[in-house]
């Protein structure tokens, strides 16, 4: 597995961030094109020296395990920018925490980063082959990105979403959005707290009411899992397999 790292400037957010690109083992020997998975909080994917709390999503284990089951993709780890993370991952401002720059962040992914990735690598550019996944605030922005038009993401992973942010505005946004073709993975740990669990159930209900069925929505309540990188790492392989199949 080959890893490329570069810095990219965002004209939408007026800042620069790191990006890690993980190529599948077959990339050098095959000429085919690959689906692309964009992961938020890219620092937390692999390297414990830069990951939050020193705990990663163990993407280095998940990628080869998925490949053994026939699921290969290009993985793009999009680093957050530290102090600006909350603002960039929040679609709507919160009375206490501010934020609300999520639309600009989605525009950066769509209009700047994806264009660079598609130009540099053998990607499948269509929506159904373009995935984004994140946890907590990263899950929140993934959900927003899916329903914002035009969205390049046809498949999303929403892990332990911070639906409380912005006084749960994401719930009304989802309920009011037009049905969007695609596939959604949504999960939560049963030990994340009553509020987080309740909000995830409300989201799942709203998505089912919009018409997402077993074929297009997987909702998982992970028994005993908490709001931690370690538990997201445990759920990541199953989420990716569902989104890539």
**Angle, vertex CA 221, rays to CA 160 and CA 75, nearest 5:** 50
Identify the CATH number of the domain defined by range 2-171+227-244. 3.40.50.1820
- 63 in Cβ contact with 21 (< 8 Å): no
Instruction: Give residue 1's pLDDT band: very low, low, confident or very high (50, 70, 90).
Output: confident
Give 111-120 contacts, CB < 8 A, sequence gap 24+: 111/12, 112/8, 112/10, 112/11, 112/12, 113/8, 113/19, 113/38, 113/76, 113/78, 114/36, 114/38, 114/152, 116/8, 117/21, 117/36, 117/74, 117/76, 118/36
pLDDT score, position 25: 94
72 against 52, higher pLDDT: 72
pLDDT higher than 80, residue 126: yes
Q: Where exactly are the structural domains of the chain?
A: 2-171+227-244
Give the whole-number percent of the chain exceeding pLDDT 70.
100
- φ, ψ (nearest 5 deg) of residue 48: -65, -20
Residue 164 CA to residue 227 CA, distance in Å, equals: 14
Summarised one tens digit per residue, pLDDT across range 134-193 is 999 999 999 999 999 999 999 999 999 999 999 999 999 999 999 999 999 999 999 999
Tokens of 207: 């998505």
Cis, bond preceding 150 (omega within 30 deg of 0): yes
Quick: pLDDT tens for 14-31.
Answer: 999 999 999 999 999 989
Rounded distance between C-alpha atoms, residue 95 and residue 60, angstroms: 38
**Positions of E strands within the chain:** 2-10, 15-23, 36-39, 74-78, 130-135, 155-159, 183-189, 217-222
And the tokens for 80?
Answer: 């957050």
Report angle CA 135, 164, 185 to the nearest 5 degrees.
35
């Amino acid at each position: 597995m080959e890893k490329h790292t570069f810095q990219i400037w965002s004209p939408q957010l007026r800042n620069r961030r790191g990006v890690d690109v993980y190529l599948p083992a077959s990339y050098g020997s095959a000429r085919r094109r690959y689906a692309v998975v964009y992961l938020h909080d890219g620092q937390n994917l692999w390297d414990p020296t830069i990951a939050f709390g020193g705990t990663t999503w163990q993407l280095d284990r998940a990628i080869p395990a998925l490949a053994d089951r026939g699921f290969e993709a290009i993985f793009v780890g999009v680093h957050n920018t530290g102090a600006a993370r909350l603002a960039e991952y929040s679609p709507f401002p919160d009375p206490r925490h501010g934020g609300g720059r999520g639309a600009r962040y989605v525009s950066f992914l769509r209009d700047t980063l994806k264009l660079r990735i598609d130009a540099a690598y053998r990607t499948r550019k269509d929506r159904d082959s373009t995935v984004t996944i994140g946890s907590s605030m990263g899950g929140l922005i993934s959900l927003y990105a899916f329903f914002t038009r035009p969205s390049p993401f046809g498949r999303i992973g929403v892990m332990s979403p911070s639906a409380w942010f912005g006084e749960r505005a994401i719930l009304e946004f989802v309920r009011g959005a037009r049905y969007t073709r695609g596939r959604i993975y949504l999960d939560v740990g049963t030990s994340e707290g009553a509020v987080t669990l309740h909000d995830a159930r409300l989201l799942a209900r709203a998505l089912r009411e919009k018409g997402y069925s077993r074929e297009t929505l997987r909702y998982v309540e992970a028994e005993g899992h908490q709001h931690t990188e370690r538990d997201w790492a445990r759920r990541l392989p199953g989420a990716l397999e569902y989104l890539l199949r």
